[in-house]
Homo-oligomer: A and B are copies of this chain.
Amino acid sequence: MSAKYDLNYDLDTIRHSAAHLLAQAIIRSFPEEKVRLGIGPTIDDGFYYDIDMEHHLTEEDFPRIEKEMLAIIAEDLTITRKVLSRDDAILFFKNLGEDLKVELIEGIPAEETLTSYTQGEFTDLCRGPHVRKTSEIPSHFKILSVAGAYWRGQENQKVLQRVYATAFLSEKELQEHLKFLEEAKNRDHRKLGKELELYLMDAHAPGSPFFMPKGAIVYNELVAFIRRLYHQFDYQEVITPQVLDVELWHISGHYENFHENMFFTDIENREYALKPMNCPGHMLMFKHYKYSYRDLPLRFADFGRIHRYEKSGTLSGLTRVRTFSQDDGHIFLSLDMIQQEISELISMYFMCYRHFQFMDVKVNLSTRPQKRMGEESSWDLAEEALRKALVENKCDYQLNPGDGAFYGPKIDFKVADALKREYQLGTIQLDFQLPERFDLKFVNAKGELERPIVIHRALLGSIERFFGIYLEHVGGAFPFWIAPEQAVVVPVKSDAKTQLDYAYKIYHQLKSAGYRVRVDARNESMNLKTRQVQTAKIPFMLVVGDREVGNSGVSVRRYGSKSSENMTFNGLTELFADLMKEKNPAERIYKENNKENHQANHQEEIVL
């Protein structure tokens, strides 16, 4: 960091000043254009300026504007602040032809002080603060992109050009950030989803992905993995209807509270809704049987498809959709079972996230809010149980007092991906309310009817959204067990019958062992085929030439590797079998006092 920035300006001030620099440079770069300015705030990782001009800015304009920004820095213009009366401000910007600024002023409450900042010929309406002269703005900035944006965010307003840029205190930080952006762009799941033929979108179903064959494999493997976890942790999967009478949604409270996000349909003069959540269905199922304490905790899991309305403008890739499935589950239990169950859940969650190589997991505990339902003693017990379970699992957690839902406390899990971006994935939400609304009861040990508590829980959350996050996390290079195509067999000479025969022999063997494999027997160069296998990020390319035919071997090239290794076919199948073990979650460790599995000490192999 050079000396001239040692001025105690924080990054936000620097970026604020850089935004003015950008606006001034744009005006200067297009002297023939009438440029009108909107707003130019800082955002996470940078800033933008909304402008209105005839010329459509493109990436080709960026160098010229950046050069002008550097020139303004070199001019070392003094930046002066001025307090303006409302009338003066309006008059001033009206004279400049800055109608948008006039609109902004008119929208600012009367009691607020208006200030402007001037550098050379450029004056902007601004709260500040700013640096004192343009030479104090570091030259470590970069214009990134331009996009359309409604003026004031309203769809009935004019579309302005939003110029995104960033600035840092050091060149190193800037370069690191640009590298991050480049990497994020390359990993963008919408881009990868298209390139790897994982899914597509169609105007006939907005926000509703069509998973192509390769995407469907990944999707189904995600579900299969969660099912294996469920088998270990004693969940019981159920399959439930999607279209349910609104009467049910009145009972559950969704009709009143979630109506805006639901789709409705009519059947025989009754109103039905497409389910936006699975919970009410599970409540019905619980109510249908007379469960006893011996049956609890009862864990229903459901991969049912749900539908939620989102405005078409907000839809994006797999992360903001109108239809998705969750690895959803509801646990019915009594108050005294909470700690044990939460403890099991926490270890299950960590087991899951680690399996997908999300190693940095943050946990939040949100406790009773001001407005809440349920007895105080229940909240005491529940919160204490959650806390103890977190401690028991040696979980560093952040406490968010008052942040729980009105119907119960909750734990949520955030993971950081390969680019250190954080995403909230799983939640564990206690619910005192739904069992009330559905009047659920179980027979307790004393033979009395008791109200159960419900835990809503999902590890991945929306599978569609997790798909998108995970795709970016692995940058499209899926691990072997989940890769849509696991290997491609390539004969060196596609016209050599012995090689071709041998390639198919290998193909059949691997396929009948369950692997996802194909032969690339096209009459194309080995170079092209290799490049295509790399681009498709397929874990293994298996090359077979005369030598391999001769020694029943295979030349194995792993994804990302520049070189090949020779293996026997037996060696290869052993390697594959070994890699496939990664589809299994880690072995569950039974905790002591686990009611159902109190013989935890019998995990060792039976020797006979």
Contacts and interface: CB of A to CB of B under 8 A. Distances in A.
A6 to B, nearest CB: 54
Contacts of A587: 512
How many monomers of this protein are in the complex?
Answer: 2
A237 interface: yes
A398 B17 CA distance: 84
A307 B267 CA distance: 12
Given A263-B267, A504-B597, 16 more contacts: A202-B284, A213-B237, A219-B239, A243-B263, A243-B323, A264-B265, A267-B322, A274-B274, A504-B598, A504-B599, A504-B602, A505-B599, A512-B587, A552-B608, A568-B608, A569-B606
A602 B501 contact: yes
Contacts of A209: 239, 241
B602 A210 contact: no
A582 interface: no
Given A505-B602, A505-B606, A237 B263 contact: no
A212 interface: yes
A285 interface: yes
A358 interface: no
Most chain B beta-carbon neighbours within 10 Å: one of A205, A506, A598, A603? A205
Interface in A566-590: 568-570, 587
A100 interface: no
Interface string A199-222: 010111110111111011101100
A231 B514 contact: yes
A196 interface: no
Interface in A176-232: 197, 200, 202-206, 208-213, 215-217, 219-220, 231-232
Contacts of A239: 209-211, 215-216, 219
B284 A210 contact: yes
A205 B569 contact: no
A305 interface: yes
Nearest to A202: B284
A238 interface: yes
A307 B266 CA distance: 13
A245 B481 CA distance: 36
A204 B212 CA distance: 34
